[in-house]
Structure 1
Amino acid sequence: MIYLFTSITCSVIVGVLLKLAKRYEISITQAVTWNYLFAIFLSLFFFKPDVSSFNIAQISPVYIVLGFLLPGIFIILGLSVKTAGLARTDIAQRLSLIISLSAAYFLFNEKFDSFKEIGLVFGFIAIFLILYRKSEHTAHIKSWLYLLLVFGGFGIIDILFKMVSQITDIPYTTSLFYIYSLAFVLSLIYTLYLASRKREKLQLINFICGCILGFFNFGNILFYLKAHKAMADNPSTVFAAMNFGVIIAGTLVGIIIFKEKLSKINYLGLIAALIAILLITLSKIYAV
């Protein structure tokens, strides 16, 4: 579980950095681009992937899809927050767990025991209770489109990283290097487009923030993959614990650091999430 804990910590820090970026008017697009460049350097430094024997046949279609989705989901998140609001966007992101768990059952042929089934029920209840907000926001077709893209995008990314962990002909650290490289090239093309067509200035502060973001994003994905490899027979445990853990940790950070106010319903959601994680953890120990 140490891999999951580390991945959750890095994920929450990434969220905090993105929230601070909006506050201090940091360009998300530029920061995301340099984030992948920094992740490439981290991969080269720590893992020393053998790229001398690179063969185009090694590039799995999974890498290509992730190369598009990883930078793309950041842009979609920003558009969704702008049109649908932060709370609804967060709900859509966390509800993508439905896609992940469906894949664990139908695609990866995992059998669910009673502890896990009850834990997942508590988990979904927790998502709605924690993210519940009274809002007068009026629904709009465009906002629902972005919410749907967030929901589907994060669910597909979870599944694809599980598939990357199952690739055996090359090390998963080399797989990460390929994915980061492709994501960087694609996001760089988009950044240069904005600079030339939209007159968006390239600034040093965005590069610095991107490097910091890249460090934690690198850790998030690396340890998420390690968790899937360590619990290869229990993908639903990784999917669920990751999502519920991020919700609990992110909510606590919001209360302590950003002084966000929670209702009694939100606190009930935190309790439900803790019960969910406890039951899912017990499912690894006992079979009912």
Structure 2
Amino acid sequence: MGFVVLAVLCSVAVSVLLRWARQAQVDVPQAVTWNYLAATALCVLLLKPELARLGAPDAPWQGWLALGLILPSLFVLLGRSVQRAGIVRTDIAQRLSLLLSLLAAFTLFGETASAPRLAGLALGLLSLPCLLARPRQDAGASARADRWLPLVVLVGFAAVDVLLKRIALDGTPLAVSLLATFAIAFVPMLAWQLWRHARGRAALTWRNLGAGLLLGALNFGNIYFYLRAHRALSAHPALVFASMNIGVVLLGTLAGVALYRERLTRLNLAAIPMAVAAIVLIALGAG
């Protein structure tokens, strides 16, 4: 379970770093750009993808291009959600993206809709209004708009998961897809940062570079340790799945409340055990 713990720590650390970015005067879009440079390098070094597969006639470039555009946009929105809606709401929403992934599994990939999975899906959907509830003090127009950011994160991560599953069905190794996606994501993001720098909107700085490389190490670490956990506990995939998602929900809640004193309504608090129970039911249905 050590790899699961490391994956959870890396996942929550990404959210903490994004939340810290504003007070540290780190430009999130710039940090996200350098994140993909680090993730690409670490992918080559640690996952050792078959580079020849990139030039294969059946290489899924359309899917990779879609992921390469969606992921960086989603990462920037994730940073905004963490800063405006909080770590707790954002991390839970990110984990509950599995609800839409599960719906896609039933409707697009022909997976069995067992009773526990349907119960988990229903409970997870019921938790969403509780998760999105904000304190009455946050009643301004900006706050009302920000409350929907976690939902955008949820939909975005579900779309990424569905795309990755669709590509995997064609027999493309995950390591190759990750490398292609990270490298593609880096190119338009770098072009955007050079344009912002040239227009005087956001100067390229060593601070942003350092924060971005750290972000990339944590982002990739989350993926790498999760994959290692599945290999180490290959006979218990449901245990790894549940432990990872529940761990992020609980540690993310602790980090948001303890480090940033995020205000949670009673409905927000109710969403936490509901999300945990939904994850357990879905894992039981998959196991």
Count of residues in Structure 1 that have an aligned counterpart in Structure 2: 278
The residue type paired with residue 173 of structure 1 is: A
Equivalences for residues 135-214 of structure 1 within 5 A:
135-138=138-141, 150=153, 152-168=155-171, 170-214=172-216
1:68-91 deviations in Å (ceiling 9; x for gaps): 111112334456678xx4269848
Q: Distance in 1 between matches of 2:197 and 2:259?
A: 34
1:65 is displaced (CA, Å) by: 0.4
Could you tell me which residue of structure 1 aligns to residue 121 of structure 2? Answer: 120
TM-score for both structures, normalised by structure 1: 0.77
Distance 1:54 1:277 in 2: 35
Kept after mapping to 1: 8 A contact 2:70/2:160? yes
SS of 2:51 mapped into structure 1: coil
How far, CA to CA, are the matches of 1:215 and 1:74 in structure 2?
14
Secondary structure, counterpart of 1:207 in structure 2: helix
Partner of 2:68: 67
CA distance in 2, matches of 1:161, 1:225: 14
Give the match for residue 259 of structure 1. Answer: 261
CA drift of 1:46 comes to 1.4
Matched, 1:107 2:108: yes
The code of the aligned residue for 2:252 comes to G
The CA deviation at 1:93 is 5.6
Check whether the contact 1:95–1:151 (CA below 8 A) recurs between aligned residues: yes
Q: Distance in 2 between matches of 1:281 and 1:149?
A: 24
8 Å CA contact 1:36–1:183 kept in 2: the answer is yes
**Percent identity, aligned pairs only?**
36
- Deviation, structure 1 residue 138: 2.8
Amino acid at match of 1:13: A
What per-residue deviation string (whole Å, max 9, x for no partner) do you get for residues 230-259 of structure 1?
99xx99x96x98666543332122123323
Q: What residue number does 2:219 align with?
A: 217
Partner of 1:22: 22
Code of the residue aligned with 1:248 in structure 2: it is L
- Counterpart position of 1:282: 284
> What CA deviation, in whole Å up to 9, does each residue of 1:39-82 have, x standing for no partner?
11111211333436751632431111011111112334456678
In structure 1, C-alpha distance between the alignment counterparts of 2:41 and 2:54, rounded to whole Å: 17
Q: Specify the SS of the correspondent of 1:257.
A: helix
Equivalent pair of 1:241/1:277 in contact (CA under 8 Å) = no
5+ residue gaps in structure 1?
Answer: none
Match in the other structure for 1:86: 85
Provide the alpha-carbon RMSD of the alignment: 3.8
Per-residue deviation at 1:172? 1.9
Residue of structure 2 in register with 1:270 after alignment: 272
TM-score by length of 2: 0.78
User: For each residue in 1:173-215, what CA deviation from the matched residue of structure 2 results, as whole angstroms up to 9, or x when unmatched?
Assistant: 1221111111111211111111112342111111111111101
**CA–CA separation in structure 1 for the residues paired with 2:105 and 2:53:** 34
Could you tell me which amino acid in structure 1 is paired with residue 27 of structure 2? S
Deviations 1:110-136 (A, max 9, x none): 112222222222223334334432231
1:103 is paired with a residue of what secondary structure? helix
Q: Distance in 2 between matches of 1:145 and 1:129?
A: 12
> How many Å apart are 1:225 and its aligned residue?
6.5
Q: Report if aligned partners of 2:19, 2:79 keep a CA contact under 8 Å in 1.
A: no
Q: 1:257 & 1:4 partners in 2: Cα distance?
A: 23
For residues 127 and 28 of structure 2, what CA distance do their matches in structure 1 show?
30
Distance 1:131 1:141 in 2: 10
Given that 1:165 and 1:225 are in contact with CA atoms closer than 8 Å, whether structure 2 keeps it comes out as: no
CA distance in 2, matches of 1:79, 1:130: 17
Report the secondary structure of 2:272's partner residue: helix
